[in-house]
Amino acid sequence: MKIARIFPTKTNMSPEDSDSYFGGPELFMPAYDEIHISVVFSWDLNTAYWLKRQWDHIAPIKIGGPAINGEGDGFIPGLYLKKGITITSRGCPNNCAWCLITKPLKELEIKPGNNIADNNLLACSRSHIDKVFQMLKNQKRIKFSGGLEAERITDKIAEEIRGLSLRQLWIAYDHPGKFRSVEKAFKILNKYFKRDHLGCYVLIGFGDDTLDKAEGRLQEIVDLGGFPFAMLYRNFKGEFPQPEKPWRKLQKYWLRPAFIRYRIKHKED
């Protein structure tokens, strides 16, 4: 069965094959048996229903994805995410106030891939983590792009990751209250990895956050030996913190590698 997959938003995890689309149909379309519209973010729902109307005449349409059905129990590599990305567990036990992940943790069958996008791999059972690391021994240029929970990083975990062909490891600094665990995680990780391997998602703009406090947290990651990645908070409706312009400006600066490298150099001089 030939399926076209339609996505309201393109992200760096979206598939790139010729049956993936990010807007309305093109003038000359191949024949498809089904159209699947995959909605990841709740704020994309209106766009998804607009896309449904655009694709209606091509083939029967199904709409699904995390924003509609929640995260499913299965995972098919390369179908709704870029080739190489794999998900070995869904959900998370932590229920952080700023996070849209609300389902309890569930371990899935492990499908090979070199980019682990689990919500919280380290919250899984030890036997599941062992199986994932075993699978990763056959992979190259590995990324943990789903992020590893700082509090669960230990020397044992870092040593196991060092034995793999690592490209990038990400942790998350979502809230000022997490500073101690992020600091502890970097103390461990710095023993095993260089800064270029250590990314940190820094959530900015949630709750009573201010521009100064947010910039302070981004700089803290530079000081701790990581490479910060500013993630601007959006609520369930997709709304950004207000006033939106200065928040976007701050995020834009802290997404520029040259700017971050300048801050790193400034710190090292």
Count of helix runs (H) and strand runs (E) in the chain: 8, 12
CA gap 169, 145 in Å, rounded: 7
What lies within 8 Å, CB to CB, of 55 at 6+ separation is: 4, 6, 24, 25, 35, 37, 61
In the bound state with ligand SF4, the residue whose beta carbon lies nearer, of 174 and 209, is 174
Please report how close the Cβ of residue 157 comes to ligand SF4 at its closest, in angstroms.
16
Q: How far is Cα 207 from Cα 235, in angstroms, rounded to an integer? A: 10
Of the listed pieces 70-78, 91-99, 156-164, 260-268, which binds ligand SF4 according to CB under 6 A?
91-99
Q: Rule CB under 6 A: is residue 96 a binding residue for ligand SF4?
A: yes
Q: Which helix (H) or strand (E) holds 212?
A: helix 211-224
Instruction: From 2-10, 59-67, 93-101, 250-258, give the range in contact with ligand SF4 by CB under 6 A.
Output: 93-101
Q: Give the tokens for residue 108.
A: 């899935």
Tell me which of 11, 46, 95, 134 binds ligand SF4, using CB under 6 A: 95
Nearest CB to ligand SF4, comparing residues 177 and 257: 177
- Give Cβ neighbours of residue 245 (< 8 Å, ≥ 6 apart): none
User: Which residue type, as a one-letter code, is found at position 209?
Assistant: D
Q: Interface residues for ligand SF4 in 166-185 (CB under 6 A)?
A: 172, 174
For ligand SF4, give the closer residue by CB, 142 or 150. 150
CB of 66 to ligand SF4, least distance (A): 13
C-beta of 94 vs 168, nearer to ligand SF4: 94
Residue 235 in contact with ligand SF4, rule: CB under 6 A: no
Which one, 69 or 95, has the nearer CB to ligand SF4?
95
User: What does the alpha-carbon distance between residue 54 and residue 99 come to, in Å, rounded to a whole number?
Assistant: 32
Site membership for ligand SF4, residue 107 (CB under 6 A): no
Residues with Cβ within 8 Å of residue 113, at least 6 apart in sequence = 77, 84, 85, 86, 139
Instruction: Tell whether residue 210 is a contact of ligand SF4 (CB under 6 A).
Output: no
> Which residues lie near ligand SF4 (CB under 6 A)?
92, 94-96, 99, 101, 119-120, 149, 172, 174
